[in-house]
Amino acid sequence: MTRIAFIGLGIMGLPMAVNLVRAGHEVTGHNRSPARTARFAEQGGRAADSVRDAVAGAEIVITMLPDSPDVEAVAADVLTARRALWVDMSTISPVTARSVAAQARDAGLRTLDAPVSGGEQGAVDGTLSIMVGGEAADVEAARPVLEVVGRTIVHVGPAGAGQTVKAANQLIVAGTIGLVAEALTLLDAQGVDLTPAVEVLSGGLAGSAVLDRKSANMLRHEFAPGFRVDLHHKDLGIALGTARESGVPLPLGAVVAQLMAAARAQGHGDLDHSALLLVLENLAGGSRHGR
Ligand code: NAD
């Protein structure tokens, strides 16, 4: 049993924190909007009114917040948890992850950046993929807790490396969705029956997890999230910013980032990222065969 503080009880954080309670850990949760903290308490968690209250006495502090500024905003309060291991599972910039890790080290805390992949369902089922940056000994200390929320837990390098791998993950996923959307738009324009087309594409080298998991909803034009366009827009900003800092061009990533920005500008920010299809159809003058 570990004393855990859990900050950020949103779509991902709430089910993750509840799984930790069910595994027998003592979990104190806090969310900026109190209704989410109350939902956590209803499911067996301890509720705290502030970050400081939540982290007092914690052995492990987990943060699951939207973006880099949110993690920076709670840092001073998290650092009051002297000697704790701070595991930030939010998707943020590697630069911020490294600077937060340095601040924490100065304050006597250990840190891991441990962003996740696997979506809300993965959080509910406790089957997330977790890419971890930090010291090996700290990864091993956190592993029993990480194994409650994830199935694939890989130490990928020093502080910030987890976030860099996550940026690469988001680049690949967005690029694949973009090309699947272009392929569907082409097939549609030619009047090809999309269902058998997707079936045969899935069996060959063009097959992908995106085609398997997203294409059925794309064919039905159902875009309930899932992973929101707004969050993927944020993540592509992180990927391009990291590339710029590294002096590395990402030409395909730059194009797909613009398409994601267009999805947002067209009012689709709250839809699933597969709504990139709407942008491609729009560029082609609309869906021609009435999907
Ligand atoms: P979310 O917006 O649902 O949850 C974030 C929560 O943090 C919200 O409840 C918000 O009120 C709370 N919060 C914000 N600032 C706070 C503060 N200062 N103190 C306390 N609480 C605060 O987002 P989410 O979908 O749970 O995603 C969280 C992170 O995980 C993001 O970085 C996202 O990119 C990443 N992620 C999400 C998914 C997904 O499918 N949703 C998948 C993988 C990774």
Please check the confidence at residue 106 and state whether its pLDDT lies above 90: yes
Q: How many Å separate Cα 62 from the centre of its chain?
A: 14
pLDDT tens digits, 135-155: 999 999 999 999 999 999 999
CA distance 256 to 166: 17
Q: For ligand 1, say whether the CB of 64 is within 6 Å of any of its atoms.
A: yes
- Side chain identity at 245, as an amino acid letter? E
Ligand 1 centre from 285 Cα, in Å?
Answer: 35
Q: Whose CA is nearest to atom 7 of ligand 1?
A: 8
CA distance between the termini of the chain: 52
CA distance 59 to 56: 9
Query: Which atom of ligand 1 is least distant from the CA of 128?
Result: 43
Ligand 1 centre from 30 Cα, in Å?
Answer: 12
Q: For ligand 1, say whether the CB of 66 is within 6 Å of any of its atoms.
A: yes
Average pLDDT (171-177) is 98
pLDDT tens digits, 49-79: 999 999 999 999 999 999 999 999 999 999 9
Average pLDDT (162-184) is 98
CA distance 177 to 181: 6
Please check the confidence at residue 286 and state whether its pLDDT lies above 70: yes
Please check the confidence at residue 291 and state whether its pLDDT lies above 60: no
Find, among 24, 12, 14, 13, the residue nearest to 145 by Cα.
24
- Provide the H-helix boundaries in 23-160: 34-42, 51-55, 68-78, 94-106, 119-125, 136-149
CA angle 193, 196, 197 (to 5 degrees): 75
Pairing of strands 116-117, 128-134: antiparallel
Q: Give one DSSP letter per residue of 125-146, joined into a string.
A: HT-EEEEEEE-HHHHHHHHHHH
pLDDT of residue 289: 61
Top mutation candidate among 6, 9, 11 for ligand 1, by most atoms within 8 Å of CB:
11
Q: Is 88 left (phi over 0), alpha (psi -120 to 50) or beta?
A: beta
Cα atoms in the 13 Å half-sphere on the side-chain side of 238: 30
**Who's near 226: CB < 8 A, 6+ residues apart?**
119, 120, 272, 273, 274
Residue with tokens 């969310």: 31
Q: For ligand 1, say whether the CB of 73 is within 6 Å of any of its atoms.
A: yes
Q: For ligand 1, say whether the CB of 37 is within 6 Å of any of its atoms.
A: no
Ligand 1 centre from 208 Cα, in Å?
Answer: 27
CB 87 within 8 A of CB 112: yes
pLDDT tens digits, 225-259: 889 999 999 999 999 999 999 999 999 999 999 99
Ligand 1 centre from 156 Cα, in Å?
Answer: 23
Query: Which atom of ligand 1 is least distant from the CA of 14?
Result: 26
Catalytic position from the list 166, 214, 232, 233:
166
Instruction: Return the percentage of the chain with pLDDT > 90, whole number.
Output: 95
Ligand 1 centre from 196 Cα, in Å?
Answer: 37
Residue with tokens 């400081």: 52
Q: For ligand 1, say whether the CB of 169 is within 6 Å of any of its atoms.
A: no
Query: Which atom of ligand 1 is least distant from the CA of 235?
Result: 34
What confidence category does residue 284 fall into, taking pLDDT thresholds of 50, 70 and 90? very high
Q: Which pair of structure tokens corresponds to residue 195?
A: 């269902």
Top mutation candidate among 12, 61, 229 for ligand 1, by most atoms within 8 Å of CB:
12
Q: Is 166 a catalytic residue?
A: yes
pLDDT of residue 290: 54
Ligand 1 centre from 62 Cα, in Å?
Answer: 12
Find, among 135, 119, 115, the residue nearest to 127 by Cα.
119
pLDDT tens digits, 12-27: 999 999 999 999 999 9
